[in-house]
């Protein structure tokens, strides 16, 4: 076998910076939201604060996971540590969903029992400020995550943006209570926010489980096949048994290259290495490619154990 490997690296400065900022902002906004919930007695603000508790815990785990994901392979983890990104995203999704369930329960309780909402103006100002800060931070996290191909950062950004929608719902609830004088608007919007959180959390968990189960990326596969068709056609060779998976930061690709019977081992090695390099260049931020070489006369002759 011939392998084209790219070494693991430390987290990019942009990744580390936005993650540290995310953790700091999460702690500050949690304090602000808990204060607002205590002062106003609002179920909607309570829902926002409850979501922020899960957010702080999830971001703390994500910050640790980001560093671990860049740790190179060792004696006990031969394929590196970047798959921890899927665990981090799954944890965020689970905690968002748990917050949604808790918020829905509290909304139903307050809807049945009733609870006056005080200090509406203070609640609006604190919640509005939190929404603006989270909107800026969430967009930054998603952009850096997509640019760096980091599912961990992108998941954290989606969590932050989910918090924005919760805050928007809180503001709408407080505005309606102030405008109509009817307190039931507060638990109603809390319930809507809970549904939004559940939708986001389940989506994150679904994507994370797909990564943990090595679900194929059809867009990546199309790009790899296009390159293989072009490069193999130009060299008069063929390929089969293409497989690929994504482990968080690294794309892993395996395939068989079928060479002419009279091609030397040295020449076959050179051809395969060039193709591997081309594939690895497509796979950001890291690509690892392994090829198996076989002569055309023996194509498919001993592959029963590798059948898909």
pLDDT value of residue 2: 41
- pTM check: above 0.85: no
Residue in the block written with tokens 């700091």: 24
* Extents of the domains making up the chain: 8-212, 218-306
Residue in the block written with tokens 């068989």: 256
* pLDDT by residue, tens only, the chain of 308 residues: 444 444 444 556 667 777 788 888 888 888 887 887 777 777 667 767 777 787 788 788 878 887 887 787 788 887 878 788 788 778 878 887 887 887 787 777 777 766 555 556 676 777 788 888 888 888 888 888 777 777 777 777 877 887 787 777 777 777 777 777 776 777 777 788 788 778 888 888 888 888 888 888 888 899 999 999 999 999 999 999 999 888 777 888 999 999 999 999 999 999 999 999 999 988 876 788 999 999 988 766 555 555 55
pLDDT value of residue 12: 61
Please give the CATH number for the structural domain made up of 218-306: 3.30.70.1350
Q: Do domains 8-212 and 218-306 have the same CATH topology?
A: no
pLDDT value of residue 43: 66
d(CA 290, CA 142): 31
Q: Which two three-digit tokens encode residue 10? A: 């430390």
pLDDT value of residue 86: 84
pLDDT value of residue 258: 94
d(CA 65, CA 86): 9
Burial of 253 (0-12, 13-18, 19+ CB in 10 A): buried
pLDDT value of residue 4: 44
Residue 127, C-beta contacts closer than 8 angstroms, at least 6 positions apart = 33, 36, 45, 48, 167, 170, 171, 174
Query: CA 264, 269, 272, 278 torsion: positive or negative?
Result: negative
pLDDT value of residue 1: 44
Neighbours of 122 (CB within 10 A): 15
Cis geometry, peptide bond prior to residue 285 (ω within 30 degrees of 0) = yes
d(CA 184, CA 169): 14
C-alpha triplet 214, 145, 287: angle, nearest 5°: 50
Please give the CATH number for the structural domain made up of 8-212: 1.20.1510.10
Element of type H or E holding 8? none
pLDDT value of residue 158: 78
Helices 43-69 and 13-40 cross at an angle (nearest 10°) of 160
C-beta of residue 42 within 8 angstroms of C-beta of residue 123:
yes
Distances (CA, A) of 86 to 51, 94, 285: 21, 12, 16
pLDDT value of residue 276: 93
């Amino acid at each position: 076998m011939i392998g084209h490997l790219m070494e693991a690296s430390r987290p990019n400065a942009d990744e580390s910076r936005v993650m540290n900022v995310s953790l700091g902002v999460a702690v500050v906004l949690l304090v602000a939201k808990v204060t607002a919930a205590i002062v106003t007695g609002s179920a909607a603000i309570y829902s926002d604060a409850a979501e922020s508790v899960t957010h702080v815990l999830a971001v703390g785990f994500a910050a640790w996971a980001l560093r671990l994901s860049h740790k190179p392979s060792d004696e006990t983890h031969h394929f590196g540590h970047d798959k921890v990104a899927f665990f981090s995203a799954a944890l965020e999704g689970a905690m968002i969903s748990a917050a949604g369930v808790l918020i829905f329960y509290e909304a139903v309780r307050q809807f049945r029992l009733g609870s006056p909402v005080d200090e509406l103006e203070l609640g609006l100002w604190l919640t509005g400020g939190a929404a603006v800060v989270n909107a800026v931070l969430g967009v930054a996290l998603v952009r850096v995550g997509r640019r760096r191909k980091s599912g961990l950062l992108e998941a954290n950004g989606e969590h932050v943006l989910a918090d924005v929608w919760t805050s928007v719902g809180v503001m709408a609830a407080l505005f309606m209570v102030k405008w109509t004088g009817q307190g039931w608007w507060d638990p109603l919007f809390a319930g809507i926010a809970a549904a939004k959180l559940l939708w986001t959390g389940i989506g994150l968990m679904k994507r994370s489980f797909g990564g943990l189960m090595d679900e194929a990326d059809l867009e990546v596969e199309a790009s790899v096949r296009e390159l293989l068709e072009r490069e193999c056609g130009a060299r008069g060779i063929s390929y089969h048994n293409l497989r690929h998976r994504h482990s968080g930061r690294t794309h892993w690709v395996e395939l068989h290259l079928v060479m002419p019977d009279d091609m030397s081992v040295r020449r076959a090695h050179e051809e395969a290495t060039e193709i591997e390099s081309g594939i690895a260049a497509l796979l950001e931020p890291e690509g690892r490619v392994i090829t198996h070489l076989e002569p055309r006369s023996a194509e498919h002759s001993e592959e029963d154990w590798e059948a898909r």
